[in-house]
Amino acid sequence: MRKAGITEAKNGLSALIDSLKGGSPVLIVDRGRPVARLEPVSGDHEGGQDGRLARLVRDGLVRPRRSRAPRALFSSEPPQAVAGASAVDALIEERREGR
């Protein structure tokens, strides 16, 4: 990410915008402290839920789905908890079994 001081940003806004077209964001700093970030606009829904998801995917924090979820996932009843059972014990057991 490129860094630019306020004076540089004010005097060279056209150059900063040109670098944004290449896809690299610019961090605006004031005396070394970040105060703003300029990012390229990507897509029509950048401001809403879709924009947040796109940013998370772009930052590598989430992965997009590879296929649709199976219908059975939504049509079947969820499993019921057994009285006295421990979720931690069940998780450890699943990991031991490789699930």
Spans of all domains in the chain: 2-58
Give bridge partners of residue 5 from the DSSP assignment: 29
What does the chain come to in residues? 99
**Is pLDDT of 44 > 60?**
no
CATH fourth-level superfamily of 2-58? YefM-like domain (3.40.1620.10)
pLDDT of residue 50: 67
Band the pLDDT of 45: cuts 50, 70, 90. Answer: very low
Here the tokens at position 65 are 């789905």
Between 47 and 70, the higher pLDDT residue = 70
What are the beta bridge partners of residue 2?
Answer: 26
Helices (H), the chain: 6-11, 13-21, 49-58, 71-75, 87-97
Alpha carbons 38 and 3: distance in angstroms, whole number: 10
